[in-house]
């Protein structure tokens, strides 16, 4: 299905991935002007659609954190004339998979159907995105689910470390709030909040769509108009104010009676549009990217057995970029784990990686790109993200060449900016030894 | 998001533990394209799943050994060995294998269950010979020293703390399994008991390795842009050169006595702020079910608690508004007896006793009256559609075949699964419900906040 996609990819790594067939990415514009990227492939009788409305949880009204999240749970709980149970029966009867999800900057939707049920799938999609009912019984039901999850997470060390990290990193900013909200804010969300969120956030000008599978460009154009054509032309959304991760150099301990301490740590990082983004990307891979070869993996896990997992990732959100990592370690060695991590940040800041280490990292990042495109869903999700990041359809051609072009000097520059003096914002949840709070703790909750 | 029920499910299923990720319970319900299988002279079975859409392959080796095959007192050794398999061989010392996979732009990992241990790499197709050579090499050449074994034991203990000790729900699941299986090793957690993990050493690992890691106890599954001919040539040149280390013998584990006693396990913890109720029944698996019993149990699990149209959701979550979520699942992929699980998470201020009564009422109803034609049609459509969706992912297909073949099934079983599902009657589902939902063959688990009065 992806071969032309891979053909496109292959232009920059023709050796590694020879082109196989004629599949390609097309840009489709519907009669009503809705744009989408399409990979037309008929190997399987499946159509996968991934889409997003820019906006997301950042658009939650103040004190009503969790509104977008509740909307994501309510779109398949009754729409148009169909009450929740009727709507869900229709989905199940035709084996249509429809789900929604929200993050800080975007509200995501995902549809998967067998070709034979395409009509029904797009009818139901249209109902869900254009006329959700928000019936009171459904609101109560979804609120109860969210509250159950909030209660579960309230004593989950990893979740708490992450929440506290966001709060310390972005105090007073939407990125400092929890996407799913708190017990207090979720309790206060009204039907009006949900209706308002839906009205403001679901429009054609903030919609991004990718389709993959047994659907041609003309049919997709028609389907896009059916599903999304009745939405308002423009969204009423306010972009989040630019922000920089704060409280670097502070450490917060949240006491909890657990045998293991969960730790989140991080620093400010680049936005996606940063010219050096690929250098940061390679740098993060070397430091703590998700393979068994990163420096943190070696130092923390392989050499010292301090943790089962340790990783860092770049988070280039629309209004702020940062690097964040996580680790969980036994209480009596938590201090050691944090100091090993700090040392690795400092080491990398002081001296860029060797040419050999850089070459290996690039080889992995270039070679593994194709693995992100071996199923319809993965192709659709990756292409959607490229669109959300405004990377342009040519990015897939260029991506590997951009990584190849990163030099040791680029990495030195990125390391200086990303790692600076190596100071970190650290939040630890558990009963850690060797860690003392320096920052303001928001305490157990 | 709304994966609350799924979250709970994965918290409640006995975790399949892995080097880096948690293996999800995989229903053996997935068909595939022209899948072929052959066996090498040394007894190694090979399965080839062609998928020519992208020039990528998934290469997996499955050993027919898991936690349930461990010597007494050495719980966790199967999983510990899985970690140690990344420590290098005579030919490729230290982390050379992982470094090589990484340089090829490949991905790799491994996972251990009660019944199997599996290692895999995903790479561009031209690198298949390399990963096959490395994987074949580590079937015999493992080198372990205390310098690598000791820190890795600490890693596994951290993994246990993270997955189990840090989470009251997981601790309850462990207690439920230990109560359900009193004689069979399925009652012991895959990752092992902490005090036994602490005692595991290099000698335990090597002895387990020598006994079970042999070509006649392994299955290689290759999915992706390959032909059977190509894979046969490569397999003969790599795995084919390895000699058998002996016969592993039949996989006979101590059988479970039929206790015929309803058991209850309660875990009250101040950190369990969201109570939950689960009931786990001992039932036949695909490996030891009669006729279409196991297929009927998969359909039953879907009709009873497989989603928002299911009975438990409609009754407890939607109509009575007493549960935040509710559902059921059947873990059919086990070599010995298996589990059928129903669960419910109460809404705030709902009494657990009331929740359990409502749950029991739905269970009695399905045993007494069976399922409707409409429910059966919907469930069949849904499960058969899953097999088409599954063909979209070579990794999903590879895992489905590996799981089935290491838990007593055959390639034919996987291929025929959709047509057998289509053939199941409403009567068979009712019979399966009667067989499965016997309170005397179950453990009811309650997770409560410490403040609540014990039941």
CB atoms within 10 A of CB B135: 22
For residues A27 and A34, give the distance between their C-alpha atoms in angstroms, rounded to a whole number.
10
User: Are B158 and A328 within 8 A, CB to CB?
Assistant: yes
For residues B99 and B97, give the distance between their C-alpha atoms in angstroms, rounded to a whole number.
5
B52 contacts on A by Cβ (under 8 Å): 20
Q: How many residues does chain A have?
A: 445
Q: Which residue of B has its CA nearest to A22?
A: B53
User: Are B1 and A92 within 8 A, CB to CB?
Assistant: no
Q: How many residues does chain B have?
A: 455
Q: Which candidate in A85, A149, A154, A379 is best for mutational testing of the B interface (most B CBs within 10 A)?
A: A149
A177 pLDDT higher than 90 = yes
Give the residue extent of every domain in chain A.
Answer: 31-228, 251-372+390-430
Out of A2-11, A274-283, A436-445, B357-366, pick the least confident: A2-11
Q: Kindly state the tokens that stand for B97.
A: 């294998």
For residues A274 and B81, give the distance between their C-alpha atoms in angstroms, rounded to a whole number.
44
For residues B417 and A254, give the distance between their C-alpha atoms in angstroms, rounded to a whole number.
51
CB atoms within 10 A of CB B257: 9
Please report which residue ranges of B254-324 form alpha helices under DSSP H: 293-305, 311-312
B225 contacts on A by Cβ (under 8 Å): 20
Q: Quote the radius of gyration of chain A (alpha carbons, Å).
A: 23
For residues B70 and B205, give the distance between their C-alpha atoms in angstroms, rounded to a whole number.
11
ipTM of the complex: 0.89
* Residue in B34, B36, B72, B82 annotated catalytic: B82
User: Are A17 and B124 within 8 A, CB to CB?
Assistant: yes
Decide: B432 and B379 in contact? Cβ < 8 Å: no
Residues forming beta bridges with residue A132, ordered by sequence position? A79
Our CA-based measurement puts residue A320 at a distance from the nearest CA of chain B, in whole angstroms, of: 24
Q: Residue A128: in which H helix or E strand, if any?
A: helix A118-130
From 1.20.1060.10, 3.40.630.30, 1.10.10.10, 3.30.830.10, which CATH number describes the B263-449 domain? 3.30.830.10
Q: Residue B60: in which H helix or E strand, if any?
A: strand B56-63
How many helices and strands, by DSSP H and E, does chain A display?
A: 16, 13
Q: What's the number of CA atoms in the CB half-sphere (13 Å) around residue A323?
A: 25
Could you give the C-alpha distances from B160 to A42, A150, B14, in angstroms and in order? 45, 24, 13
3-state SS class at A159: helix
CB atoms within 10 A of CB B236: 14
User: Are B161 and A330 within 8 A, CB to CB?
Assistant: yes
Contacts of A299 (CB under 8 A, 6+ apart): A340, A343, A344
Nearest by CB to residue A304, choosing from B54, B151, B324, is B151
pLDDT digits (tens, 9 = 90+) for A329-358: 999 999 999 999 999 999 999 999 999 999
Nearest by CB to residue A368, choosing from B105, B158, B393, is B105
Residue owning tokens 């051609």: A397
Q: What are phi and psi of A7, to 5 degrees?
A: -60, -45
Could you give the C-alpha distances from B455 to A412, B159, B310, B313, in angstroms and in order? 62, 32, 28, 25
User: Are B392 and A375 within 8 A, CB to CB?
Assistant: yes
Contacts of B307 (CB under 8 A, 6+ apart): A88, A92, B313, B327, B382
Nearest by CB to residue B54, choosing from A257, A293, A374, is A374
User: Are A20 and B167 within 8 A, CB to CB?
Assistant: no
User: Are B309 and A370 within 8 A, CB to CB?
Assistant: no
Kindly state the percentage of chain A with pLDDT values over 70. 93
For residues B312 and B343, give the distance between their C-alpha atoms in angstroms, rounded to a whole number.
9
Determine the pLDDT at residue A9: 27
A147 contacts on B by Cβ (under 8 Å): 324, 348
What is B4-241's CATH superfamily?
Answer: Metalloenzyme, LuxS/M16 peptidase-like (3.30.830.10)
Give the residue extent of every domain in chain B.
Answer: 4-241, 263-449
B82 carries an active-site annotation: yes
Say if domain A251-372+390-430 classifies as CATH 3.30.830.10: yes
Q: Kindly state the tokens that stand for B28.
A: 């053996």
Architecture of domain A31-228: 2-Layer Sandwich (3.30)
A27 pLDDT higher than 50 = yes
Determine the pLDDT at residue A397: 86
DSSP tag of A306: -
User: Are B166 and A258 within 8 A, CB to CB?
Assistant: yes
B167 contacts on A by Cβ (under 8 Å): 156
Helix, strand, coil share (%) of chain B residues, nearest 5? 45, 20, 35
pLDDT band of A291, cuts 50, 70, 90: confident
Nearest by CB to residue A367, choosing from B99, B106, B270, is B106
Our CA-based measurement puts residue A40 at a distance from the nearest CA of chain B, in whole angstroms, of: 12
Decide: A37 and A387 in contact? Cβ < 8 Å: yes
Q: Kindly state the tokens that stand for A116.
A: 């034979």
Nearest by CB to residue A360, choosing from B103, B321, B388, is B103
Q: Which of A97, A122, A113 is nearest to A47 (CA)?
A: A113
Equal CATH topology for A31-228 and A251-372+390-430: yes
For residues A37 and A56, give the distance between their C-alpha atoms in angstroms, rounded to a whole number.
21
Decide: A337 and A263 in contact? Cβ < 8 Å: yes
pLDDT digits (tens, 9 = 90+) for B143-162: 999 999 999 999 999 999 99
Decide: A428 and A263 in contact? Cβ < 8 Å: yes
Our CA-based measurement puts residue A169 at a distance from the nearest CA of chain B, in whole angstroms, of: 24
B87 contacts on A by Cβ (under 8 Å): none
Decide: A23 and A376 in contact? Cβ < 8 Å: no
Please report which residue ranges of B335-425 form alpha helices under DSSP H: 352-369, 373-390, 394-406, 411-423
For residues A358 and A400, give the distance between their C-alpha atoms in angstroms, rounded to a whole number.
14
User: Are A137 and B321 within 8 A, CB to CB?
Assistant: yes
Decide: A57 and A47 in contact? Cβ < 8 Å: no
Return averaged pLDDT per consecutive 10 residues of chain B, 455 residues in all. Answer: 26 29 38 84 97 94 98 97 97 95 95 97 97 98 96 96 94 97 97 98 98 98 96 98 93 92 96 95 97 98 96 97 98 96 96 98 98 97 94 94 96 95 98 98 95 53
CA dihedral A312, A317, A322, A324 (to 10 degrees): -30
Q: Kindly state the tokens that stand for B449.
A: 């906040």
Q: Residue B156: in which H helix or E strand, if any?
A: helix B146-160
DSSP tag of A333: G
Determine the pLDDT at residue A439: 59
Q: Residue B120: in which H helix or E strand, if any?
A: strand B117-124
pLDDT band of A23, cuts 50, 70, 90: low
For residues A263 and A162, give the distance between their C-alpha atoms in angstroms, rounded to a whole number.
8
For residues A70 and A76, give the distance between their C-alpha atoms in angstroms, rounded to a whole number.
11
- In Å, the largest CA–CA distance within chain A is 64
Determine the pLDDT at residue B33: 66
Q: Kindly state the tokens that stand for A35.
A: 């744009």
CB atoms within 10 A of CB A343: 12
């Amino acid at each position: 299905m992806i071969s032309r996609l891979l053909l496109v990819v292959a232009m920059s790594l023709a050796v590694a991935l020879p082109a196989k067939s004629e599949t390609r990415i097309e840009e489709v514009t519907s009669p009503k002007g809705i744009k989408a990227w399409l990979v037309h492939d008929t190997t399987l009788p499946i159509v996968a659609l991934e889409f997003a409305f820019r906006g997301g949880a950042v658009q939650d009204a103040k004190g009503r954190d969790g509104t977008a999240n509740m909307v994501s749970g309510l779109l398949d709980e009754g729409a148009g004339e169909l009450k929740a149970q009727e709507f869900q029966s229709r989905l199940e009867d035709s084996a249509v998979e429809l789900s929604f999800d929200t993050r800080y900057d975007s509200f995501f939707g995902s549809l998967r159907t067998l070709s034979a049920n395409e009509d029904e799938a797009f009818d139901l999609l249209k109902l869900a995105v254009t006329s959700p009912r928000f019936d009171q019984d459904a609101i109560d039901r979804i609120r109860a689910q969210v509250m159950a999850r909030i209660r579960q997470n309230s004593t989950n060390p990893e979740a708490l470390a992450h929440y506290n990290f966001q709060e310390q990193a972005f105090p007073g900013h939407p990125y400092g709030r929890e996407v799913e909200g708190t017990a207090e804010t979720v309790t206060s969300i009204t039907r009006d909040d949900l209706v308002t969120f839906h009205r403001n956030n679901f429009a054609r000008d903030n919609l991004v769509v990718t389709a993959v599978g047994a659907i041609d460009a003309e049919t997709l154009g028609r389907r896009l108009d059916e599903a999304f054509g009745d939405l308002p032309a423009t969204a009423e959304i306010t972009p989040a104010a630019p922000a920089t991760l704060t409280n670097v150099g502070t450490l917060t301990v949240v006491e909890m009676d657990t045998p293991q301490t969960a730790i989140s740590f991080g620093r400010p990082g680049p936005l996606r549009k940063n010219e050096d983004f690929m250098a940061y990307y390679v740098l993060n891979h070397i430091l703590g990217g998700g393979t068994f070869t990163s420096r943190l993996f070696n130092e923390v896990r392989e050499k010292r057995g301090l943790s089962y997992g340790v990783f860092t990732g770049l988070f280039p959100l629309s209004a702020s970029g940062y690097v964040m990592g996580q680790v969980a370690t036994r209480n009596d060695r938590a201090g050691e784990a944090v100091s090993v991590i700090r040392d690795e940040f400092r080491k990398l800041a002081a001296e860029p990686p060797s040419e050999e280490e850089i070459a290996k990292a690039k080889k992995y990042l270039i070679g593994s790109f194709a693995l992100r495109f071996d199923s319809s869903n993965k192709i659709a999700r990756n292409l959607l993200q490229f669109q959300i990041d405004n990377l342009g359809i040519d990015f897939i051609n260029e991506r590997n060449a951009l990584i190849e072009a990163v030099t040791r000097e680029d990495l030195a520059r990125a390391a200086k900016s990303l790692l600076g003096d190596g100071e970190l914002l650290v939040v630890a949840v558990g009963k850690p030894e060797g860690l003392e709070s320096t920052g303001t703790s928001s305490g157990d909750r | 998001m709304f994966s609350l029920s799924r979250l709970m499910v994965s918290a409640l299923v006995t975790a399949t533990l892995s080097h880096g990720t948690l293996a999800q319970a995989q229903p053996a319900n997935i068909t595939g394209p022209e899948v072929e299988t052959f066996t090498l002279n040394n007894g190694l079975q090979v399965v080839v799943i062609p998928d020519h859409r992208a020039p990528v392959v998934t290469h997996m080796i499955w050993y027919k050994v898991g936690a349930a095959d461990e010597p007494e007192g050495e719980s966790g050794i199967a999983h510990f060995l899985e970690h140690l398999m990344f420590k290098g061989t005579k030919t490729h010392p230290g982390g050379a294998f992982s470094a090589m996979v990484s340089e090829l732009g490949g991905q790799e990992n491994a996972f251990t269950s009660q019944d199997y241990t599996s290692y895999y790499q995903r790479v561009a197709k031209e690198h298949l010979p390399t990963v096959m050579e490395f994987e074949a090499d580590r079937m015999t050449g493992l080198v372990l020293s205390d310098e690598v074994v000791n820190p890795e034991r600490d890693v596994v203990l951290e993994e246990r703390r993270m997955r189990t000790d840090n989470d009251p729900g997981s601790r309850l699941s462990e207690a439920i399994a230990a109560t359900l299986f009193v004689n069979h090793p399925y009652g012991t957690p895959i990752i092992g008991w902490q005090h036994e993990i602490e005692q595991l050493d290099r000698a335990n690992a090597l002895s387990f390795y020598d006994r079970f890691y042999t070509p006649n106890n392994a299955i290689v599954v290759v999915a992706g842009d390959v032909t059977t001919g190509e894979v046969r040539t490569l397999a003969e040149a790599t795995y084919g050169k390895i000699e058998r280390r002996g016969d592993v013998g039949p996989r006979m584990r101590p059988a479970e006595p039929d206790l015929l006693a309803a058991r209850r396990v309660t875990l009250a913890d101040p950190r369990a702020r969201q109570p939950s109720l689960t009931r786990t029944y001992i039932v036949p698996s695909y490996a030891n079910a009669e006729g279409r019993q196991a297929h009927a149990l998969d359909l039953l699990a879907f009709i009873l608690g497989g989603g928002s149209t299911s009975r438990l959701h409609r009754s407890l979550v939607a109509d009575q508004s007493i549960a935040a979520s509710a559902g059921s699942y059947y873990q059919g992929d086990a070599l010995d007896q298996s589990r059928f699980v129903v669960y419910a998470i109460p809404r705030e201020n709902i009494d657990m006793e009331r929740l359990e009564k409502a749950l029991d009422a739905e269970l009695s109803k399905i045993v007494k009256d069976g399922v409707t034609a409409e429910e059966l049609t919907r469930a069949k459509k849904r499960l058969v559609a899953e097999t088409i969706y599954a063909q979209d992912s070579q990794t999903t297909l590879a895992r489905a075949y590996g799981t089935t073949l290491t838990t007593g099934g055959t390639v034919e079983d996987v291929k025929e699964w959709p047509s057998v599902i289509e053939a199941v009657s409403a009567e068979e589902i009712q019979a399966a419900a009667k067989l499965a939902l016997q309170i005397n063959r179950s453990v009811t688990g309650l997770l409560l906040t410490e403040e609540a009065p014990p039941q």
